Amino acid sequence: MGKKACWTLIVLTVVVNVVMLQWTIEAYLGHEFDKVFQYSTVAFLSALFAGSILLVWRRMEYRPAE
């Protein structure tokens, strides 16, 4: 996986998080509390994925020259 692929995945997961935040707020204000948990779970998993991809990118970016 290249550096550009890492950044593409990070940006996509951030977009998913923004959408999930919007849907979570709409579900909360609409008193659909079962959907709040679902959307929050998806956002949490997406954030974990973005964090792990960020660590992969950081390892690739700052690897000592051989």
User: At what angle are helices 3-29 and 33-61 packed, to 10 degrees?
Assistant: 160
Distance CA 49, CA 32 (A): 26
> From its phi and psi, is residue 3 left (phi > 0), alpha (psi between -120 and 50) or beta?
alpha
The whole-model pTM stands at 0.82
Domain count, the chain: 1
Task: Assess if residue 66 is contained within a domain.
Answer: no
Question: For 7-61, how does the pLDDT look when each residue is reduced to its tens digit (9 = 90+)?
Answer: 999 999 999 999 999 999 999 999 999 999 999 999 999 999 999 999 999 999 8
11: phi then psi, degrees, rounded to nearest 5: -65, -40
Contacts of residue 42, Cβ cutoff 8 Å, sequence gap at least 6: 16, 20
Domain that holds residue 44: 3-61
